[in-house]
């Protein structure tokens, strides 16, 4: 099986508490030899650090999810930079904007996003973006901040508009493909990916959410990255090995701290 990396999962979630050893082992057996588990709140950082220290195949990222911004004081650049001293922390986020459920906190979300971007500049680590129902503001902030000083970025679980995809790609950023591309009603999203350069594509699960076909409706897990990658190869009209090799090279370019 081609080697793959699940660039975004949540192995610290309670869904995996009883089966984490097996889930990681199943992923490696399925060819998913690396995973990045994402911390979305301050209180979860210690647990995520423990997980990435326990499993050689697992690395981690840390940030404050936009839906959590209103729940606690806005994170500081210093906090993010300090957390990044851990050599197994490979990215900053997920951060971003979510106006679907939490539009009332959008001003604070925007402040938080800009602070995460500044931490990326200071550490050299890539930004991991969550964006939902906020395309215009997201495009504007990313463009404005990139003009102030370069940073690298992945649009995690990309399922937004073609316009936002074009803005992100124009800034040199990456789009991450999740199980959503395997859903029957996702043809518009598949078309957006098909028009993107293959050297800007990553794959992920966002597990335990968004299990790809044929596991839709079940708990998602990193092993299922293989199903998304199979659809990715179909979208780009290349062999599975070619698609996998391309996404691996892209991942290593974006996340240079990850070894092996």
Name the superfamily (CATH) of residues 4-253.
Answer: Metal-dependent hydrolases (3.20.20.140)
Residue 185, class by beta-carbon neighbours within 10 Å (0-12 exposed, 13-18 middle, 19+ buried)?
exposed
- DSSP lists the bridge partners of residue 115 as none
156 is an annotated ligand-binding site residue: yes
pLDDT confidence band for 11 (50 / 70 / 90): very high
Distance (Å, rounded) from C-alpha 247 to C-alpha 259?
A: 15
Give the single-character DSSP code of 237.
T
| Residue closest to 182 by CA, chosen among 141, 232, 120, 240 | 232
pTM over 0.75: yes
Q: Are 190 and 235 in contact (CB under 8 A)?
A: yes
206 is an annotated ligand-binding site residue: yes
- pLDDT tens digit sequence for 117-171: 999 999 999 999 999 999 999 999 999 999 999 999 999 999 999 999 999 999 9
100 is an annotated ligand-binding site residue: no
Helix runs in 99-212, H state only: 99-102, 106-123, 135-148, 162-170, 187-194
The pLDDT assigned to 259 comes to: 74
10 is an annotated ligand-binding site residue: yes
The structural domains of the chain, with segments of one domain joined by +, span 4-253
144 is an annotated ligand-binding site residue: no
- DSSP lists the bridge partners of residue 39 as 62
Q: How many CB atoms lie within 10 A of CB 196?
A: 20
Q: In which element (H, E) is residue 5 found? A: strand 4-9
């Amino acid at each position: 099986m081609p080697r793959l990396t699940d660039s975004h999962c949540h192995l610290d979630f309670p869904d995996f508490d009883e089966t984490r050893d097996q889930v990681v082992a199943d992923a490696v057996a399925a060819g998913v030899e690396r995973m990045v588990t994402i911390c979305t709140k301050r209180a979860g950082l210690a647990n995520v650090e423990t997980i990435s220290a326990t499993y050689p195949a697992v690395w981690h990222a840390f940030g404050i999810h936009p839906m959590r911004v209103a729940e606690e004081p806005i994170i500081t650049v210093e906090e993010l930079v300090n957390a990044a001293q851990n050599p197994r922390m490979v990215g900053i986020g997920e951060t971003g904007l979510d106006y679907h459920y939490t539009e009332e906190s959008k001003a604070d979300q925007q402040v938080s996003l800009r602070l995460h971007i500044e931490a990326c500049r200071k550490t050299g680590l890539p930004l991991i973006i969550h964006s939902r129902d906020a395309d215009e503001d997201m495009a504007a902030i990313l463009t404005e901040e990139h003009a102030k000083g370069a940073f690298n970025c992945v649009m995690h679980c990309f399922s937004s508009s073609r316009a936002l995809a074009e803005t992100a790609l124009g800034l040199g950023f990456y789009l991450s493909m999740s199980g959503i591309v395997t859903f029957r009603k996702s043809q518009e999203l598949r078309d957006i990916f098909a028009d993107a350069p293959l050297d800007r594509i990553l794959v992920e699960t966002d597990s335990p959410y968004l299990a790809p076909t044929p596991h839709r409706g079940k708990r998602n897990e990193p092993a299922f990255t293989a199903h998304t990658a199979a659809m990715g190869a179909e979208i780009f009209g290349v062999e599975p090995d070619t698609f996998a090799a391309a996404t691996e090279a892209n991942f290593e370019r974006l996340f240079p701290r990850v070894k092996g």
